[in-house]
Every structure is written in C-alpha cells, then in structure tokens.
Structure 1
C-alpha cells in the first residue's frame, strides 16, 4: 500500500478511507499519535527518554496530519475545505482551553460532524456506528 492508493475522503467513503489511512500510517511507522496519548510537555528536567518519546510522537502526529490533509477533498460548502473547517474548530477549542473553558474531544467531534453539509451524511453514519471512537 502507498499513499496514491488511498481514495480521497469525500463523505461517502469514510470507513474505507479511515482504514486505509490507519494501515498506511502503521506501515510508515507514523501511527504512534493515533495509538498513544500525547506525552506531557517537556521541561528542563525531562529525561532523555521522555524527550525522545515526545519527539517521536510529535513527528508521528505531524506526518499523520499531513497525510490525512492530502487525502481529503479540497472543497467544503463552496468556501473552505472540510480540513480547514475542522482545523479551525480544533484551533478554537485550543483557544478556549487556554481561557480555562475546555471542550472535550468527544464534544468537538460531535460539533464537527454536525456542522458538515448533508452530502457528508454517510461520514456521520459511519462514525456513529463505530464501536471505537
């Protein structure tokens, strides 16, 4: 499997797209960010092991996001892409967290899914029927 074999996410192929992305990230050893929680922020007293783990997770997360970004459609409601829309929501949630108004990941996903146009209905159904969230 390689990147070019992944179908672009278009709303009706979410389940296959997600599975293909997970396989590709696993084969490329960039699946650490989806298998493990983000490690604690580094401080001066962090051990070399903690620094290495943080760097590996950070690289995995960055590469995973780039791969997913490339495998999504560019248009969303004629103005922005789905990717940009979701990233704006994540960015807003981060700002709220800084203001001590945290939003749970589950709620953020719920809001992102509900704000998608009707043509992404299959994506919503696929997500809601999964056992693992």
Structure 2
C-alpha cells in the first residue's frame, strides 16, 4: 500500500521538490496536496481518546487517525533531503582552502566568504570570530607578521574589515622584482678613449632565500663605481 501510494504520479511532486530547509512553505503545500489526493486528510485535531465504552465508530476513527499519522510520517521522511553529506562537503571546502602564492588576498577572501555563506545556508554554524581565525590560517607566509600582531593584540574584526586590512598589508609588502641602481639619462657618455657611449643603466635582482642580497647589491655598486671611472664621470 505504501509503495503504491508513494510512487503515484502526485507523489513525484515530493520526490522532485524535497525539503532542504529554505523551501519549507512550498514543501508543506506540496505535502498537503499529495496527502489529500491520496485520501489522507491533514490532521488538525488531537488523537481521539478511546476507552472501554468507546463505540465501533470511535474505534474506527482511532484506526483511521493512526493510519493517516503513519502515512504522513512516511511521506515526510521520504521527501526530506539528506543534507548531512552537503554539510560535510561545505566544511571540507572551508578547511581545505588555502591562499595560492599568485592569488590576490581580495580574491582569496571573497572565496572564503562564499564558502562560509554556502555552509551557513546548509546549517553549518560558524560564528564570526571563528571565521576570521580560520581565514588567518589559510593565508600565505607573507602575512605572518600580520597574523602575529593580530593574535598578540587580541584584535576583533569582521570579515569585510579583515579583507580591507589584508589588502593594505599586501600593498605594502608586495615584493619588488628589481632594484634600480642607475637611471637612464639624456646625457651622452664619453670614455677615456673618446668614444661616444650610450647612457649606462643597471639593475640587480635580489637572490631570494640566499641571505646574500646585501652582498649582491654591494658587488653591483662596486661594478658601477668602476664603470663610472672608465667613462670619465669621476
């Protein structure tokens, strides 16, 4: 009886429009339509009281009430979406997201906020301060000093304010690819031999992770000093 009723054409309405939390009003309306169409009146009265003096009509009303109650429960359970896997997927997305080295902090923050919003829609309850803490853990090492200052100062920010602060830090700490040691000049240089030479420019690329950036700059400056002597600028 249950299988025939539930897989009726009208019951397909519930199968295609399962309860996912935000569509409760529409889902309840569809549920009432299916129940009434299949002869199960919507229960609006309490369970009928039965005793030893109850008539056969009252006993039949009790049986009908219980049957309707059981069928309603079956329809409800069968038309509810299993949201637990969706919640778990949303939590995994939040926990596994990390800021890429080449990404801007703004794009990363927008991605994290989107993950939080999706989780909130599915019932994943994460308070604002915990969201900020989770975002800080996803940042690259270039924000290490900011994270230290944030934790030591026991600061409290919203996600939009945090994004604004991180963008300011990103603008300040953005690495410079080259260091200019000399600028182009409109003056034409002349060597000791009298040959006209083009203006001299030079740049040095810092050696990342080598710890010899200062030495590289000193060596280049020494080189430039020698060339200036050669060109007769000193």
User: TM-score, normalized by length of structure 1?
Assistant: 0.53
What is aligned with 1:30? Answer: 40
Output one character per residue of 1:48-78: Cα deviation in whole Å (capped at 9) or x when no partner. 1110110110000000110011000123455
Give the deviation of 1:118 after TM superposition: 4.2
Residue 4 in structure 1 maps to residue 12 in structure 2: yes
Output one character per residue of 1:74-130: Cα deviation in whole Å (capped at 9) or x when no partner. 23455xxxxxxxxxxxxxxxxxxxxxxxxxxxxxxxxxxxxxx94267xxxxxxxxx
Higher fraction of strand: 2
Aligned to 2:73, which of 38, 47, 65?
Answer: 65
Whose Rg is larger? 2
Work out whether residues 31 and 64 of structure 1, in 8 Å CA contact, stay in contact via their aligned partners in 2: no
Q: Per the alignment, do residues 119 and 31 of structure 1 end up closer, same or farther by CA in structure 2, a change over 3 Å counting?
A: farther
1:35 is paired with a residue whose SS is coil
Displaced runs of 4+ in structure 1, greater than 6 A?
none
Work out whether residues 83 and 122 of structure 2, in 8 Å CA contact, stay in contact via their aligned partners in 1: no
| Distance of 1:3 and 1:120 partners within structure 2 | 25
Structure 2 unmatched runs, 5+: 1-8, 89-118, 124-234
Output one character per residue of 1:22-41: Cα deviation in whole Å (capped at 9) or x when no partner. 11111112124x2322111x
Q: Considering Cα pairs closer than 8 Å and 6+ residues apart, tell me whether 1 or 2 has the greater RCO.
A: 1
| Distance of 1:39 and 1:120 partners within structure 2 | 38
Alignment of 1:7-86 (within 5 A): 7-32=17-42, 34-40=43-49, 42-76=50-84
Alignment RMSD: 2.2
